[in-house]
Amino acid sequence: MKAKLNLTCLIVLLLVNTVVLKSQSVSKYPFQNTNISTEERVNDLVSRLTLKEKVSQLFNQSESIDRLGIPAYNWWNECLHGVAAAGKATVFPQAIGMAASFDENMMYRIANAISDEARAKNNFFRKNNISSIYTGLNFWSPNINIFRDPRWGRGQETYGEDPFLTSRMGVNFVKGLQGDNPKYFKVIATAKHYAVHSGPEFTRNSDNVFVNDYDLYNTYLPAFRALVKEANVQSIMCAYNRFRDKPCCGSDLLLSNILRNEFGFNGYVVSDCGAISDFYLPQYHNVVKTSNQALGWSLATGTDLNCEETKGFLVNNLDSAIKAGIVNEKDINRSLKRIFNARFKLGMFDPNGADEYSKIPISVLGSAENQKIALEGAKKAYVLLKNDGILPLRKDKKIALIGPNIDNIDILIANYNGTPVNPVTPLKGLQQKQGSKNVLFAPSCPLTTGFYGNMTTVAAENFFHLENAKLKQGLQAEYFTSTDFTSKPSIARIDPNIDFYWKKSPINNLLEENFSVRWKGVLIPANSGKYIFESGFSLKTKINGVETTSAGVELEKGKRYEFVAEFVSQPYFWGNTLEPTAQLFWVNSSIDYQKQALEVAKNADVIVFCGGISAKLEREAIPSVETEGFSHGDRTDIKLPKVQEELLADLLKTGKPIIFVNFSGSAVALNWESENLPAIIQGFYPGEATGTALASILFGETNPSGRLPVTFYKSISDLPDYKNYNMDGRTYRYFKGNPLYKFGFGLSYTTFSYKNFQISNLAIGDNQIVASVEVTNTGKLAGDEIVQVYLSDKNPDATSAIRSLVAFKRISLAAGETKNVSFAISKDQLSKFNTDFKPVLVSGDYVLSVGGKQPDEISIANKSVLQSEFRIEGK
């Protein structure tokens, strides 16, 4: 028996040694050995790099190191509400719309779907040896800045104005992105922009922000803390602005003291793109004189990866800079270990198939399941703000669909978006629901002066070319392998018009290729008028030798105009050569759209007006946008554009009831609409299922359930100065005025009642309150309620919030159904944070309120919001 056992042991030992020897033969270097720890592999790799090689890895375009088998890698990628800028992907509701759902579970499922599509794309790209911008696994999402002012054009990217709601949505988003594998991350999320950043866009690269410690620790930083501690977010993006005189990407306080020491962050920090250059550029921070000094400062304080649009920032005379102490090689090594740790944990140096995520197929893109989640998200993003009983509509009603956003794809995709798989505008959605005969429509007016939502593709019937001195349909097209049109054309053909989406290069049928196209011919308009053209970054057009601009050009019916368009497909900061598109749109701004709208309204039973604004007007830093109410991506007023309000007033005179659907990424002062129209729906930007979801809500198939994640003010006169970052007078927590619609507000087609609100005393050692309440659906329709719990101090000091959201829960109730809802409210939510970022329980008397909205005198009196007092004895 003993001999047999020894023989068995010998065989096992030989097998093990064979496996080890085989592994060693495959692994030329220790960092390639998957049997040792990630830390050991990272340390070994970094130790083998030359100084020049090390520096080449510190930028978003990390170069290949062929001698070690390290491939090139581009870190620049986005997935704010779907995989962005790399061709088709499911477009979910914009972040602000997801926040309106108050649905943590759905947030996780959306993020999980996004990361599935992200991995599928990356697996496909790697298989085809593509590693350009927007193909990697490190994503610069989510944006968890506090939306403190509705004028900020990028506020749509956030989860609203409340730190707790932001943290809950952000935590679930990061968990869904990064996955739950103990060894590998599915993708790596990046919490941005750290810290105290939320506009203005025009001066963000030079602004020097100051706020008091209370606002810093209790408003601007809690969401970042939550994402680090609860979601283990692996990347942080530092902001453009300075904070207390130091650039955020060079702040010891923010990066070393708070992020690393207090939060325990163990990932890597990446700069916002160009933020390190801002250190030394004279028009921006100008706090140092050279790029060497900027790089050395940023590395020393903990910014590991430098995002730059070009390689021009790469430092000269690095050896002498290190010898002089301007740049420290120890800092370089520390940063390299952090960023390579991320790449290892994404499986980039392991055999293909070693992790489960590397097997996700490209077929998940736009899958039926993901489309289903997108539709769910869109339905939950709509907020019913007013309803005098007109909604839901009867199916026999003939609808006049009017407004600048009825068929505007911009309200679906917002910004930081991919190409939607199945885009459904309000027009398409209502036509699918009611049939074209029952949906009369007219675009009616521009969004605001000079900006239209009803741009259409310039049709083939308007384009011609000369052939043997005769006018023939179509444009002469030349396709070049160069991007400067200097090479001999590879293809010469006739294209009917300019409306292309290329899955692969039209020249060599490759997945990725730089190329260019020149179209020449004659443009003949069917109607006279002033035409505004739109073509995107990559397509430039000329008419009679003059480049078209947003100002528009006067064209005469039937007249021939010399036409030239040039398109270039090449990687740049907001585009690449993956699934490029070339599309030329136009609109005749001379048409009397108001007359058309009034004619359509006369023949309908009810008017659905789809208005508001779009991400063409509010978004990140748009120098070209300078018009009434808008500047450089921000807003200078929060009113609905005058041209829309005037049309609404004329439509009201027809006597037809008007349902106003407002699409915007931020609050709009809908004062006149609230006073005069029977129904208002806030849409935000609901993603590719926008129209399907809207039709479902209008006709009562879906009960609206969204709640406002921001305060809707009546005027900018209610707001402090835009550049003032102190929270006094801002958001529902500190605004002492009377808003138009409060944070957390939203109506339903049914009603809910609350009773038996109970809370436990704050038990010593437990550091939490357990609260419970019974909620009943007292109406005739099933519906979702957002149960909200607010905390207020009965004896507040000067810094205390009026009230703060400390818990919420989305519940579904059938008609007549009752549910008991309980909450565990943690010490963090009951405390104030001190300057060591420690939660401190402050002794005093407090009030806890529960209901479907914020407490006020009316809701407390009619018991739609219940309250209970309790006392905290601080330690």
Give the pLDDT confidence score for residue 17 in this predicted structure: 43
Q: What pLDDT does residue 217 have?
A: 95
Q: Which CATH superfamily is domain 752-872 in?
A: Immunoglobulins (2.60.40.10)
Q: Which two tokens stand for residue 391?
A: 């909604």
Among candidate residues 571, 543, 573, 542, the one with its CA nearest the CA of residue 559: 543
Which tens digit of pLDDT belongs to each residue from 760-776?
866 544 678 899 999 99
In this structure, the number of other CB atoms found within 10 A of the CB of residue 537 comes to: 10
241-244 long-range contacts, Cβ below 8 Å, gap at least 24?
A: 241/196, 241/197, 241/204, 241/205, 241/206, 241/207, 241/208, 241/209, 242/207, 242/208, 242/209, 242/285, 242/287, 243/195, 243/196, 243/208, 243/209, 243/210, 244/208, 244/209, 244/210
Q: What are phi and psi of 47, to 5 degrees?
A: -65, -20
In terms of Cβ atoms closer than 10 Å to its own Cβ (0-12, 13-18, 19+), residue 573 is: middle
- Mean of the per-residue pLDDT values for the chain? 93
Residues designated as active site: 272, 618
Q: State pLDDT tens for residues 807-817.
A: 999 999 999 99
Confidence band, pLDDT 50/70/90 cuts, at residue 535: very high
Report the C-alpha gap between 358 and 125 in whole angstroms.
11
Half-sphere exposure (CA, 13 Å, Cβ side) for 185? 27
Domain boundaries, given as residue ranges, for the chain: 53-364, 377-454+591-734, 456-588, 752-872
Residue 772: enclosing H or E segment and its boundaries?
A: strand 768-777
Task: Specify the pLDDT at position 577.
Answer: 77
pLDDT value of position 15: 42
> Tens digits of per-residue pLDDT, 303-350?
999 998 766 666 667 777 888 889 999 999 999 999 999 999 999 999
* CA separation for the pair 90, 120 (Å, rounded): 13
The per-residue pLDDT for range 587-633, each reduced to its tens digit, is 999 999 999 999 999 999 999 999 999 999 999 988 889 999 999 99
Pairing of the two strands 246-247 and 242-243: antiparallel
* Cα distance between residue 117 and residue 360, in whole Å: 8
Domain 53-364: state its class.
Answer: alpha beta
416 closest CA partner among 67, 143, 104: 143
Q: Using DSSP bridges, classify how beta strands 839-840 and 804-813 pair: parallel, antiparallel or unpaired.
A: unpaired
Side chain identity, residue 509: N
> Which pLDDT band holds residue 3 (cuts at 50, 70, 90)?
very low
Residue 29 clears pLDDT 60, i.e. is over it:
yes
> Mind listing the pLDDT tens digit for each residue in 629-652?
999 999 999 999 999 999 999 999
User: How far apart are the C-alpha atoms of 448 and 639, rounded to whole Å?
Assistant: 11
Mean pLDDT, residues 702-718 taken together: 98
State in Å, rounded, how far the first CA of the chain is from the last one.
68
Q: Which residue has the tokens 């839901």?
A: 392
pLDDT at 836: 76
**Average pLDDT, integer, range 748-759:** 97
| CA distance readout (Å), 799 to 163, 309, 359, 835 | 16, 41, 52, 14
Q: What is the predicted pLDDT for the residue at 314?
A: 63
DSSP state at residue 110: H
Burial class (CB in 10 A: 0-12, 13-18, 19+), 383: buried
Give the start-end residues of each E strand in 597-716.
606-612, 626-627, 630-631, 634-635, 658-663, 679-682
Mention the CATH class of domain 456-588: mainly beta
Quote the pLDDT of residue 575: 66
Among 3.40.50.620, 3.40.50.1700, 3.40.50.970, 3.40.50.1980, name the CATH number for the domain at 377-454+591-734: 3.40.50.1700
What value does the mean pLDDT take over residues 293-308? 95
pLDDT above 60: residue 800:
yes
Residue 537 to residue 572: CA distance in whole angstroms: 10
What percentage of the chain reaches a pLDDT higher than 70?
A: 95
What's the pLDDT score for residue 352?
85
DSSP letter for 835, please.
T
pLDDT band at 12 (very low <50, low <70, confident <90, very high): very low
Distances (CA, A) of 854 to 46, 740, 787, 791, 851: 54, 13, 10, 10, 7
- Residues 809-866 pLDDT 10s: 999 999 999 999 999 998 888 888 887 778 888 889 999 999 999 999 999 999 999 9
| pLDDT score of 768 | 82
Rounded distance, CA 680 to CA 658, Å? Answer: 9
Distance between CA atoms of 201 and 188, rounded to whole angstroms?
A: 27
Cβ atoms of 363 and 123 closer than 8 Å: no
pLDDT at 631: 96
pTM: 0.95
Examine the pLDDT at 26 and tell me if it is beyond 70. no
Tokens, residue 519: 């179209």
Q: What is the mean pLDDT of residues 526-543?
A: 95
Pairing of strands 399-402, 439-442: parallel
pLDDT for 376-404, tens place per residue? 999 999 999 999 999 999 999 999 999 99
Per cent of the chain over pLDDT 90 is 87
CA distance 249 to 305: 10
What residue type is assigned to position 345 of the chain? K
> What pLDDT is stored for residue 294 in this prediction?
93
pLDDT in tens, 112-154: 999 999 999 999 999 999 999 999 999 999 999 999 999 999 9
